[in-house]
């Protein structure tokens, strides 16, 4: 049995649950409970606030956890970052009132900066030799300058919309973050084994993200041209059809290229094109 800590509610909860489900670990939606057991894998799920996940994993209360890299960096706990998960992408940035001129990090010298990430910001400023006053606040950091609590902020940015609507502009992108799988450093062999099975499953799910499975009928003498259009995984699978002179071509394509590929394939005579969801890619 291995125990994973995930965010109880918030931005990472849904994607974390979805990843586990796609990896064959079904969890009854009983979020009122702190701890639940998954079906299909010897896994227990512990629901916590994201701030508490690095410590829970470092202390062994949970063996592994899914949390933003920003929280791992801020809490500075001794945990292993095992795998990047590709969701919850954001950055930690410095932002100042939009009417201010900005000519580099020196702007922050002697200024007051509001943040929920004093650890990361303190390290960044001391690396760059900036002396500033860091004001730690728990939430609504973006309103601090307009109410006179601070000159600038250091906060999570994703689209940047929140900054704009608070009259701020992003002037320094300090660190990039995404959800990661973290682990306790002292896992038993049995737990390590389960962990590597989990990561194997996650990778199969990740490889299929944004990919589609496409099949079509094609005149045999057009296969070479089709191969040039379709990079595929290695090379496309070509199967004979009962009707002479025709074959069936199967290939995996990136979803963002799908329509361009379909148009090119129709031009060389492809017919009856089917596009299917791709769930898992095992290597």
Residues β-bridged to residue 237:
250
Candidate segments 38-46, 150-158, 192-200, 270-278, binder of ligand PRT by CB under 6 A? 150-158
Distance CA 58, CA 61 (A): 8
**Shortest spacing between CB 61 and ligand PRT, in angstroms:** 16
Stretch that binds ligand PRT, among 20-28, 33-41, 46-54, 245-253 (CB under 6 A): 46-54
- Whether the CB-CB separation of 23 and 198 falls below 8 Å is answered with yes
Strand order across the 64-68 sheet: 26-27, 35-39, 43-48, 2-7, 64-68, 179-183, 80-84
Q: Shortest distance, CB of residue 13 to Zn ion, whole angstroms?
A: 12
166 touches ligand PRT by CB under 6 A = no
Please identify which residue in 49, 128, 185, 254 interacts with ligand PRT, judged by CB under 6 A.
49
CB atoms within 10 A of CB 49: 13
**CB-wise, 50 or 142, nearer to Zn ion?**
50
CB nearer to ligand PRT: pick between 141 and 247: 141
Q: Which is closer to ligand PRT, CB of 2 or CB of 67?
A: 67
C-beta of 52: minimal distance to Zn ion in Å?
Answer: 8
For 72-105, b/e burial (b = at least 16 CB within 10 A) is bbbbebebeebbebebbebbbbbbbeeeeeeeeb
Interface with ligand PRT (CB under 6 A), residue from 161, 186, 242, 282 = 161
* Tally of residues, the chain: 283
CB atoms inside a 10 Å sphere around CB 216:
22
Binding residue for ligand PRT, selected from 63, 71, 151, 206, defined by CB under 6 A: 71
Q: Check binding of 128 to ligand PRT (CB under 6 A).
A: no
């Amino acid at each position: 049995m291995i125990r994973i800590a995930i965010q109880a509610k918030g931005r990472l909860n849904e994607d974390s649950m979805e990843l586990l489900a796609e990896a064959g670990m079904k969890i009854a939606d009983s979020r009122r409970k702190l701890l639940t057991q998954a079906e299909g894998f010897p896994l227990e799920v512990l629901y916590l606030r994201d701030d508490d996940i690095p410590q829970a994993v470092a202390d062994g209360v949970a063996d592994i956890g899914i949390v933003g890299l920003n929280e791992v960096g801020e809490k500075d706990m001794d945990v292993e970052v095992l795998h990047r998960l590709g969701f919850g992408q954001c950055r930690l940035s410095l932002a100042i009132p939009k009417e201010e001129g900005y000519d580099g990090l020196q702007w922050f010298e002697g200024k007051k900066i509001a943040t929920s990430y004093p650890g990361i910001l303190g390290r960044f400023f001391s690396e760059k030799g900036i002396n500033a006053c860091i004001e730690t606040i728990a939430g609504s950091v973006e309103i601090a300058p307009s109410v006179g609590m601070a000159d600038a902020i250091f906060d999570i940015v994703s689209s940047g919309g929140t900054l704009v609507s608070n009259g701020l502009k992003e002037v320094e992108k300090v660190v990039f973050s995404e959800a990661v799988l973290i682990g306790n450093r002292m896992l038993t062999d049995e737990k390590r084994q389960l962990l590597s099975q989990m990561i194997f499953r996650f990778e199969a799910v990740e490889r299929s993200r944004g990919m589609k499975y496409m099949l079509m009928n094609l005149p045999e003498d057009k296969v070479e041209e089709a191969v040039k259009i379709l990079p595929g995984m290695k090379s496309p699978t070509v199967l004979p059809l009962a009707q002479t002179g025709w074959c069936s071509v199967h290939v995996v394509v990136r979803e963002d290229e799908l329509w361009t590929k379909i148009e090119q394939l129709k031009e060389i005579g492809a017919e009856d094109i089917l596009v299917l969801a791709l769930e898992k890619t095992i290597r």
